[in-house]
Amino acid sequence: RLTQRLPTSPENISRVLQQLFPLVKDKAQEIDWQQIAVANAMNKNFTVIAGGPGTGKTYTVTKLLAALVMLNTNTATNKLSHNPALEIALVAPTGKAAQRLSESIISAITGFKTLINANILAAIPTEAKTIHRLLGVIPNSPNFRHDQNNHLSCDVLLIDEVSMVDLPMMTRIFRALKKETKIILLGDADQLPSVAVGSVLADITPRPHSGYSPANTNYLAQVCQLDVQQLNHAFMSTANHSDHLSFLVTSRRFDGEGGIGKLATHVIKGESTQSWQLLQAANENNRNQLALVEGDLHDWLSPLIKEYYQGISRCDTLDDAFALFAKFRILCVTRQGEFGVDAINQWVKEQLAVNTAQPWGQSHQNYHGMPIMISENDYRLGLFNGDIGLLWHANSNTSTNASDNASLHSNHLMAFFEQPKTADGETHYKTLLPSRLPKYDSVYAMTIHKTQGSEFTHVAMLLPKQSNNLLLSRELLYTGITRAKTQLTIASNKQTWQQGVTSVVKRYSGLKIVE
């Protein structure tokens, strides 16, 4: 796939790109890296599009899918096409990541209605699956229905959040693909690698970009109407090249002036002193984006619990409750320990019980408004490790297509799980009796690993007091930092912080791309 080039004329590709990326007068001489990413993927059967949070990865890949449909239907040349419709599959490692991918694709398609023909947009799928669901789980078996002897039928496979995919799973995916299937990998190479073996995305995404081969540079310059030297000057001059790789570099979420974006940049570069100074300066200047806190949890975390969590059970509708819960999350490094997920979740429940005069603070009983996370897969119910839901009284102003319809007309406590929004913005829920659920826990706090693929308005990140924690790394801190969209509160001492920033995740997976 690395060396395979598709027999599509550069002229047709150029026509499609002109439709998808109209020239903007003030930016006519600038390189549009989203256009480069689309162009670079259009003539290849294997491509990686990498970038940090807010760089428009899903926006870009939606344009790429539209471009592939346009090429397949000869829309750019207005000639009648006899090609069969492209079968495009969208997947992500977890249910939450798949849901976010679906919603992002739908949002992008809605924004393109004035730019792209409606028939082209209609051919882009909007439902993403988990990788397990795509490959086909066989109950009580480690194997999948699709493998080297039973290939997937898709013509194009898009995998989002690739940093979460381990080496054995990626191997299974490639074994299950037809030789001619185009594969597009999407993700942030600076994030934590997978929990299991390997660091697939990091291994195939050299940073900084080593540049393109002369042939690929000439191709990109031709179809994007750029000067060859302009493209060459954008990369470091090296003997190596990475034709399969495109980086998106401009973040719409972090403009470089806000504290969160600056902190993430310092951390991933290993700049421990500068990052700590930025946190201290943020406190002194009362910048809203960043806050460094120390001392007793009750002093600084209790107000956040009251602001974000206490009102969940009092929301008028389930939609409102999910929206409020999505605004804030407490992130921990580990499950165990004083600042681990288990202890913090219990502490939050006790604080809520005191503030609302509820009896469940010291117990394990379920209650109205309790957020939960599934911790083991149940393929029969369509619930997977990491799926998040809310326990809610069924008669509390909920209208939904439910799995347990009979219980919805009583005052039973039910478990509701958000499903991807429809094209018209409607929210639907998977609804089950709590007694039917696989193993689950309350989820006011999560490990940083579990938050990959998610984002929140405000994040509180708790680091352990001891600096010798083996899980601490700059990739872990970067992943936690970039979950926050507008506000980030960090609880740490200087020694622990600087130890985390200077530590690097090292994996020896044996995976290397040679072009």
In CATH, the number for domain 259-502 is 3.40.50.300
Look at residue 80 in the predicted model and tell me its pLDDT.
46
For residue 278, pLDDT beyond 80: yes
For the entire predicted model, the pTM comes to 0.85
| Distance separating alpha carbons of residues 160 and 132, to the nearest angstrom | 14
Q: CATH number for 10-248: choose from 3.30.565.10, 3.30.450.40, 3.40.50.300, 3.40.50.2300.
A: 3.40.50.300
Q: Is residue 186 classed as helix, strand or coil in its secondary structure?
A: strand
Mean pLDDT of all residues belonging to the chain: 86
Q: Which strands sit side by side in the sheet containing 413-418, from one edge to the other?
A: 429-432, 413-418, 388-393, 371-374, 440-442
| pLDDT tens track for 19-29 | 999 876 665 56
For residue 404, pLDDT beyond 50: no
* Same-fold call for 10-248 versus 259-502: yes
More confident residue, 53 or 18: 18
Q: What is the DSSP letter of 463?
A: P
Q: Residue 411: pLDDT band by 50, 70, 90 thresholds?
A: low
| pLDDT tens track for 295-347 | 788 889 999 999 999 999 999 999 999 999 999 999 999 998 889 999 999 99
Which of 89-93, 178-182, 394-398 is least confident? 394-398
Residues linked to residue 91 through DSSP beta bridges, in sequence order: 129, 159
- In this structure, which amino acid lies at residue 416? F
| pLDDT tens track for 211-264 | 899 999 999 999 999 888 888 888 876 677 889 999 998 877 766 567 898 999
Closest of 397, 310, 296, 388 to residue 354, by C-alpha: 310
All structural domains of the chain with their residue ranges: 10-248, 259-502
Closest of 17, 12, 9 to residue 224, by C-alpha: 17
Kindly state the tokens that stand for 13: 């590709």
Look at residue 25 in the predicted model and tell me its pLDDT.
63
What residue has token string 């006899």? 82
Look at residue 86 in the predicted model and tell me its pLDDT.
92
| pLDDT tens track for 86-121 | 999 999 998 888 888 998 999 999 999 999 999 999
Phi/psi-derived region of residue 194, left when phi > 0, alpha when psi is between -120 and 50, beta in every other case: beta
